[in-house]
Amino acid sequence: MSRLRTKRKPEAGPSRAGRSSLPDTARKRLIRSRLAAWYGRCRRDLPWRRRADDPYAQLLAEVMLQQTQVVTVQPYFERFIARFPTVQALAGADEGEVFALWSGLGYYSRARNLHAAARRIVEGWGGAVPRTVAELLTLPGIGRYTAGAIASIAYDMRAPVLDGNVIRVLTRLLGIEEDPRSPAVRDRLWAAAEDLLPARRCGDFNQALMELGATVCLPRSPRCADCPIRSACRAFREAAVDRIPAGGRRTKVRAVRIVSAAIARPDGALLFVQRPARGLWAGLWELPSEELRDGEDVESARRRLAKRLGGIGRIDATPAGEVTRLLTHRRLVFTVFQGRASTRARARWADRQPARWVKRDGLSELGISRACEAVLALVGA
Ligand code: SF4
């Protein structure tokens, strides 16, 4: 896909902060009609769009799409909806199976909230996904954006959405140069997203805005030459595209070092332990691991890990290798050791966390994180 970079010099003049305003009626009409025509021509064929009249499919897609790219979500969505085709099916599912199907998608609290939301929908609405933003907001894991997306897409309610893509399009379209993370600017953007909504087909309009942000109005090098609303775009007209939306300081990333042990029985089964019910990767399964303390070296943490294993098996003295994973706020470095246990070794782990032996063919039924998958790949599991 060709990307055109806008490199016009900014016009000289007074600060533009505060000069942006909501579009007048004619401009709104132009934006709506151009976006609708473009969306009809250019929208991507996505599995949840083929189920536009299924509110449960929209709920599932919107939860999966939180913090996650479309390309990653697609196969998860297809597998999940094939296994749990209705709210009732999901509500009646075992949490372990829900986690197993979510494995690798990240942000696992979403899976727990989705499962709880399905049960709430069955109990409170007889299995029909609620229609209004106010009702949707009472469900676990559903915020203002997700509620607006479900209400507008599934029920054509006049509800705005504001995600990262929409924020980028609207700040540029309206020429808003202030930081969109500030509450005041955020309020203005919500108001603008609502003001722009047409009387009907609000779901399509919202999806068109999101689609434009995802495929044309890109963070760097937006494809303004291909943009259907270029003539209405203030940032384009004022050569301000490169500086809108205003950036900010990057999130500070904390480095975390971890030692992990792949303890194998003679039959190839590996020892897995379940993480606590709260915190990072809550409730998922992983290899026995220890986080390095401040100033601690790997050898000391390896000995501590061996002690916690309490004689289940022996850990090699030298590591099999390292795996690095970057999360939003953390850079995780796993130093991975291999080890052996006898056939009759019991599965147990410190602090009474659940533990079990799992063979390679049983891994797909275990809820594990992408980081754990990478660690397992290192030891050939
Ligand atoms: Fe985004 Fe460029 Fe379109 Fe403006 S003209 S909305 S900056 S792609």
CA of 229 to the centre of ligand 1 (A): 7
Going by their DSSP bridges, the two strands 330-341 and 254-264 should be labelled as parallel
- Smallest CA separation from ligand 1 atom 5, residue: 230
Instruction: Specify the ligand 1 atom closest to the Cα of 223.
Output: 8
CA of 241 to the centre of ligand 1 (A): 7
8 A C-beta contact, residue 63 and residue 136: no
Residues 6+ apart with CB under 8 A from 219: 168
Interhelix angle 144-155/55-65, nearest 10 degrees: 150
Q: Output the six-digit token pair for 335.
A: 């130093």
Instruction: Specify the ligand 1 atom closest to the Cα of 168.
Output: 1
| Pocket residue to mutate for ligand 1, from 1, 236, 238, most atoms within 8 A of Cβ | 236
CA of 170 to the centre of ligand 1 (A): 9
CA of 374 to the centre of ligand 1 (A): 39
8 A C-beta contact, residue 2 and residue 203: no
In this predicted structure, what is the pLDDT of residue 249?
56
CA of 377 to the centre of ligand 1 (A): 42
> Cα separation of 378 and 323, whole Å?
8
Mean pLDDT of the chain: 89
* Segments of the chain assigned E as strands: 254-264, 270-274, 285-286, 289-291, 313-315, 321-326, 330-341, 355-358
The answer to whether 62 is a known catalytic residue is yes
> Cα separation of 359 and 16, whole Å?
62
Q: What letter does residue 327 receive in the DSSP assignment?
A: -
Residues with CB under 6 A from ligand 1: 169, 172-173, 216-217, 222, 224, 227, 229-230, 233, 235-236, 241
pLDDT digits (tens, 9 = 90+) for 23-65: 888 899 999 999 999 999 999 999 999 998 899 999 999 999 9
Q: Output the six-digit token pair for 379.
A: 């030891």
> Cα separation of 245 and 176, whole Å?
7
Kindly give the parts of the chain with pLDDT less than 50: 1-20
| Pocket residue to mutate for ligand 1, from 233, 243, 244, most atoms within 8 A of Cβ | 233
Instruction: Specify the ligand 1 atom closest to the Cα of 227.
Output: 3
| Pocket residue to mutate for ligand 1, from 2, 7, 31, 217, most atoms within 8 A of Cβ | 217
pLDDT digits (tens, 9 = 90+) for 241-298: 989 999 765 567 889 999 999 999 999 999 999 988 777 888 889 999 999 998 899 9
- Side-chain half-sphere of 194: how many Cα atoms within 13 Å? 10
Query: 222: exposed, middle or buried (C-beta count within 10 Å: 0-12, 13-18, 19+)?
Result: buried
8 A C-beta contact, residue 243 and residue 71: no
In this predicted structure, what is the pLDDT of residue 9?
33
